[in-house]
Structure 1
Amino acid sequence: MTATSNYLPVRADWLASGAEAALEPDMPIVDAHHHFYDRPGWTYLLDEYLQDAQSGHDITASVFMQGLSHYRTSGPQELRPVGETEYVSGVTKSLQAGRPQVAKGIVGYADLRRGAAVRDVLEAHLQGGQGRFRGVRHLVTWDADPTLVNPLSAGPRGLLLDRDYRAGVAQLDALGLSYDAWLFFPQLPELFDLAKAYPNMPVIINHCGGIVRIASYEDRRKEVFDRWSRSMRELAQLPNVYVKVGGLGMRINGFDFENGERPPSSVQLVEAWKPWMQTCIETFGTGRCMFESNFPVDKGSYPYSNGWNAFKRLTAQATPDERAELFRGTVSKVYRLG
């Protein structure tokens, strides 16, 4: 399977056929997770993100998440990912005085398997981020079913437990940086072990904890939910662990939104997502949950406006303070956005 086939195609006409007007357009939002991609056949950079972010919701700021683009093309191999941080901080610098402050926080990539030697790479990221670099995401997705794993993000089995990898994570902790975790739900117990070892380091679970409901998991959906929810409850015992609520528009989630004649409405999204997202929010509390767009990855399943409308519908019964945490407070606290 190629890397491209792991992503749902973005179909502009299909998305436009079901795009909704923004509900509660004056609610300030900080998008906790989006990418820029510059890959063969797929470009999604600042202009594309601004077009989505300015489609009706009040996106005041965002956190950029590493996307394997714009690496340095020369110099030491381990330092090449710093190019992405330099690129993002450069193209968004002029926006920091306005609205939206795109990439107000930047999360990059460094090979944590290098152990203590990764310190130089992290320091280069801090310099390249011009004061906005906040942490690292090292993709660790692994499963016994090889059809599930994107070759761009595949990790070896048990990486979170590896001694050298832990030595690299320790450098994040020492520098006051955070760790973003993208993994599949069967790996959550390993993340618990890692997060427990670094109680002062913010650990942010991406995309509701790596829900997989296709391939070898397709016929075991109740088992998946039970196993996932048990692991999430265990992780919630650790006060340094946070959850990004979103990212459920991917192929591996098995909701099949892409197969509709029109994109799903926000009401349909809530119906599909509620058991998962409500469990995250009830288990971790609003002070440790944050909403994310995960664009452009989730753009294969629904328009940007519909996704945020769904989050607003999902939280309609929450208090104003709880909604403030979910839509902007938690992400601003965790990534130190000020």
Structure 2
Amino acid sequence: MQVVDPHVHFWDLDTHHYPWLANPGVSFVGDARDLKHSYLPSNLVREAGDISVLKVVHVEANHDPEDPVEETRWLQSIADDAERHGQPHSFPNAIVAACDLSAANAPAILEAHAAFSRTRGIRQILNVHTNKLYDYVGRHYLREAAWREHFALLERHGFSFDLQLYPSQMEEAAALARAHPGVQLIVNHAGMFVDRNGVAGWRAWRDGLRALAACENVSVKISGLAMFDHDWSVESLRPYVLETIDAFGAGRAMFASNFPVDRLFGDYAALWHAYASIVSDASESERAALFRGNAERIYRI
């Protein structure tokens, strides 16, 4: 099976600082202590099994926030080095970099990221939740004037924005997308449906996805499902995969691995074969879009 994987994280603990891995703990997404080891393109290739990974998009890995551009510099260097030495893959093919859009230096950080040829976009985690167990950032960036002002600069650089948030934030995010039709937004992890204990949670996720999907400049990655379903099976993933595709259509959805984070709950090949099983009755062109074409088009690789 050939795939383009649009959500992978690499890190080198010998040369770079990742605060969350310096003193890792246990959260609802798993035991980060099991991730405290370097994870490089060679690791991904080795564990891909029978999956032929054609291209990879690297999404910022919570690198040292004091120097987010260093992560981009490092990723560009390892890709360039692989290309220079004629290796079969020069991963990552695209870089989604980190920037705190609320910070005064955000314009300068965006300019610095733009100097690297493989930079395609920005991610800043936005997840905020009333339950502290699920709250990532503790503030509503989407409502902050400085953040929104700096978000508008993405279009100047031709950057997309990887949108990691919860269903309760989707209506506000849809308004942001409508206000900036020239910026491509990519919903991470199928919208991170975390409130799974009742009908209200399902409806908030379903309706939020459709509010975002109504914006032509929004697409979605079907990824990270294992963070909420540690003992996943094909059948347990099926409703979330199909609901997401139903909302966005096969033309604006793409499968992704979220490795090595989702590696805590299964191996790489098993995840991709699960996706393939769920959409086995889709047309050949739809499967090509979901597994390769949409990621190539949206991230321009």
TM-score surpassing 0.5?
Answer: yes
TM-score of the two chains, using structure 1 as the length reference: 0.78
Measured after TM superposition, the shift of residue 98 of structure 1 is 4.8
TM-score, normalised by the number of residues in structure 2: 0.87
CA contact 2:45–2:53 (8 Å) conserved in 1? no
Q: How does 1:311-322 map to 2 (within 5 A)?
A: 311-322=275-286
Deviations 1:66-118 (A, max 9, x none): 0023x49xxxx4xx100000111112223346543421000110110136x52
Which residue type is aligned with residue 89 of structure 1?
Answer: Q
What amino acid is the match of 1:328? R
The SS at the match of 2:175 is helix
Alignment of 1:247-266 (within 5 A): 247-250=224-227, 253=228, 255-257=229-231
Counterpart check, 1:301 vs 2:265: yes
Show the counterpart of 1:271: 235
Give the whole-Å Cα distance in 2 for the aligned partners of 1:100 and 1:316: 28
Aligned in 2, Cα 1:64/1:246: closer, same or farther, shift over 3 Å? same
Task: Note the C-alpha offset of 1:280.
Answer: 1.1
Query: Where in structure 2 are the equivalents of 1:160-179 lying within 5 Å?
Result: 160-179=142-161
The answer for the alignment partner of 1:121 in structure 2 is 109
- Report runs of 4+ in structure 1 exceeding 6 Å deviation: none
1:219 partnered with 2:197 = yes
Q: Is the Cα contact below 8 Å between 1:207 and 1:245 reproduced in 2?
A: yes
CA distance in 2, matches of 1:160, 1:334: 23
Asked if residue 51 in structure 1 is aligned to residue 19 in structure 2, the reply is no
Structure 1: runs of 5+ lacking an equivalent: 1-26, 258-263
Are the equivalent residues in 2 in contact too, given 1:68–1:84 (CA < 8 A)?
Answer: no
**C-alpha distance in structure 1 between counterparts of 2:91 and 2:282, whole Å:** 27
One-letter amino acid of the structure 2 residue matched with residue 57 of structure 1: I
Q: Given the alignment of the two structures, is residue 93 of structure 1 paired with residue 85 of structure 2, yes or no?
A: no
The RMSD of aligned alpha carbons is 1.7
User: Which amino acid is 2:300 matched to?
Assistant: R
Query: How far is the alpha carbon of 1:321 from its aligned partner?
Result: 0.8
1:68 to 59, 62, 66: 62
Q: Is the 8 A contact 1:138 1:180 kept in 2?
A: yes
SS state at 2:91 partner:
strand
Alpha carbons of 1:99 and 1:289: their partners in 2 closer, same or farther (altered >3 Å)?
A: farther
Match of 2:295 in 1: 331
Query: Structure 2 counterpart of 1:286, which letter?
Result: A
Which residue pairs with 2:132 in the alignment? Answer: 146
In structure 2, the CA distance between the partners of 1:195 and 1:219, relative to structure 1 (3 Å rule), is same
Contact 1:118–1:171, Cα closer than 8 Å, also in 2? no
CA contact (8 A) 1:34 1:293 kept: yes
Please tell me whether residue 183 in structure 1 is matched to residue 183 in structure 2: no
Equivalence for 1:24: none
3-state SS of 1:50 partner: helix
SS of the residue 1:293 aligns to: coil
- Match status 1:109 vs 2:98: yes
Asked if structure 2 preserves the Cα contact closer than 8 Å seen for 1:192 and 1:234, the reply is yes
Contact 1:293 1:304 in 2 (8 A): yes
Bigger CA drift: 103-112 or 90-99?
90-99
Deviation, structure 1 residue 273: 1.1
Equivalent position of 1:199 in the other structure? 181
Given that residues 136 and 179 in structure 1 are in contact (C-alpha distance below 8 angstroms), is that contact kept between their aligned partners in structure 2? yes
Match of 1:231 among 178, 183, 208: 208
Q: CA deviation at 1:119?
A: 2.2
Match of 1:9 in 2: none
